[in-house]
Structure 1
């Protein structure tokens, strides 16, 4: 997307990559809810700046309320919602993996989760596999999941919270068979799909990172007139990026295909975060002040 397009239409992902409305709401609460309430009018106004019309915004809020993700609350006579504490805690726990993920090194031990779920509880088996996948695990065989050792603590905690640890045993170990482990990694993880997702991200945001770097080349802050644009760029950016540190197991680069796009995508994200985070927060604060 070119700079003139940005100024005319606002920098949003292509329709194929755009975050779901519900995902945007969770991001807004995680960023600007401060653990408290967002007035309905402020939430609807923020979503409008993200390209979500009023009717769609209210439908999304209703669905999230029905699921227990949003909870009704009034403060000084103003109606609003708070984010479920569990969801808010998960959002805040993302910070380490989003901004400073730990990449494993060749020779580091592997984490193994060996699990067995009775056929009568197949839904729990699906849930367990989904949780492990969301934490970056691959699968060596049926009932055997593998990941770098850096994620084992979080995996054990997540499965315990979900009541799934009774089906699993946890191990740490080395790969002892001779041969090139790089040839095995694509069998355990769907690296092709993940690389295409990074490519989609770069398609939307690499040009934006260059654009905003040029806009701030002098080192000064963004003018207030661009805070709304910063907000409309930053919220979808973070919403999309939050998924990658979990999908990506952060394997050693030596184990990954040539031309792996994750480092370029991460650089684009960090560039945009550095430039846009504060002005986006300033704009969101102005919307909240106007409705409190």
Structure 2
């Protein structure tokens, strides 16, 4: 677990629902529960500031940090897919397609745009042509405007008339077998761990905090590999639902104690 990644988890899980601002001393104590040093935490905070994820302000001799609007938006998008994973209204047979031709002198923006498309759940159909069965038009439009690449990107809503079947088309764009294997690994790791913890009875609040935060941290990784496909396009044996249910049960059991411990260490600006 890297400090910067854990900071995203802490803000998304605990601070997104509060003032979104916390004293750096509280952050170092919270991440200290995972064996992270104060120096490592401060270095990660400084890096996130430079990248535009965090903002800070001084109150007396104390520094308080909050997510920037950009960071808050990213946390809200992640929360929509984690708590709970949305079930959709059934697939309408339409595809959101993106085609781009970003020049070489803007290569860094092209690389960043690809990362954004992957995070949203797009798959690569052909070179520079990405698609998704989910309606992500507004989100893509916003990204292209933010990066000022609207002149190099085209956005379509399309129907597919041949020749592959929809599930075959999906298999060309996403490695569902690998994603399913990741879900299997998550289930095989956390189900026995969860059962062993429950057998111990009530856990101390600080242990609940560590276990729940690690659980969210691990589960959050599926945002970067699972395209959140409609049920109609998934394989017959898909473990995402089982993993969702395990996560929800484990999360609900640990949540009260974890929240109490966080609130005990949490200090907002006066």
TM-score bracket for this pair, using the shorter chain length? 0.7 to 0.9
Q: In structure 2, which of residues 35, 43, 46 is the aligned counterpart of residue 62 of structure 1?
A: 46
Q: Distance in 2 between matches of 1:104 and 1:246?
A: 23
Q: Which consecutive residues of structure 2, in runs of 5 or more, have no partner in the other structure?
A: none
Partner of 1:237: 215
Q: Distance in 2 between matches of 1:64 and 1:185?
A: 35
Q: In structure 2, which of residues 166, 169, 176 is the aligned counterpart of residue 184 of structure 1?
A: 169
Partner of 1:202: 187
Structure 1 residues 152 and 200, CA, compared in 2 at 3 Å: closer, same or farther?
farther
After superposition, where does 1:31-70 map in structure 2 within 5 Å?
Answer: 31-33=13-15, 34-70=18-54
Local SS of the residue matching 2:131: strand
Q: Quick check: 1:109 aligned with 2:86?
A: no
Q: Distance in 2 between matches of 1:158 and 1:240?
A: 26
Q: Distance in 1 between matches of 2:228 and 2:194?
A: 23
Whether contact under 8 Å (2:133, 2:230) holds in the other structure is no
> Deviations 1:169-227 (Å, cap 9, x if unpaired)?
111122211443323322111323323332332243233344466678xxxxxx5x522
> Deviations 1:87-116 (Å, cap 9, x if unpaired)?
023212322222132457455211111222
Partner of 1:132: 117
Q: Distance in 1 between matches of 2:269 and 2:148?
A: 41
TM-score (norm 1): 0.79
Offset, 1:125:
2.2
More deviation in 70-79 or 168-177? Answer: 70-79
Whether contact under 8 Å (2:21, 2:269) holds in the other structure is no
Q: Distance in 2 between matches of 1:144 and 1:50?
A: 41
Q: Distance in 2 between matches of 1:75 and 1:195?
A: 48
Partner of 2:158: 173
Offset, 1:279:
2.3
Partner of 2:254: 276
Q: Distance in 1 between matches of 2:168 and 2:195?
A: 35
Q: Distance in 1 between matches of 2:93 and 2:198?
A: 37
Offset, 1:258:
4.5
Q: Which consecutive residues of structure 1, in runs of 5 or more, have no partner in the other structure?
A: 1-18, 217-222
Q: Distance in 2 between matches of 1:36 and 1:76?
A: 19
Q: In structure 1, which of residues 234, 241, 260 is the aligned counterpart of residue 238 of structure 2?
A: 260
Structure 1 residues 175 and 269, CA, compared in 2 at 3 Å: closer, same or farther?
same
Partner of 1:248: 226
Whether contact under 8 Å (2:19, 2:268) holds in the other structure is no
Whether contact under 8 Å (1:112, 1:170) holds in the other structure is yes
Offset, 1:39:
1.6
Local SS of the residue matching 1:150: coil
Structure 1 residues 154 and 102, CA, compared in 2 at 3 Å: closer, same or farther?
farther
Q: In structure 1, which of residues 30, 37, 42 is the aligned counterpart of residue 12 of structure 2?
A: 30
Whether contact under 8 Å (2:209, 2:261) holds in the other structure is yes
Q: Distance in 1 between matches of 2:123 and 2:262?
A: 39
Structure 1 residues 286 and 170, CA, compared in 2 at 3 Å: closer, same or farther?
same
Local SS of the residue matching 1:156: helix
Residues matched between the structures, number: 267
Offset, 1:266:
1.2
After superposition, where does 1:277-292 map in structure 2 within 5 Å?
Answer: 277-288=255-266
Offset, 1:24:
0.8
Q: Distance in 1 between matches of 2:147 and 2:214?
A: 28
Q: Distance in 1 between matches of 2:221 and 2:3?
A: 15
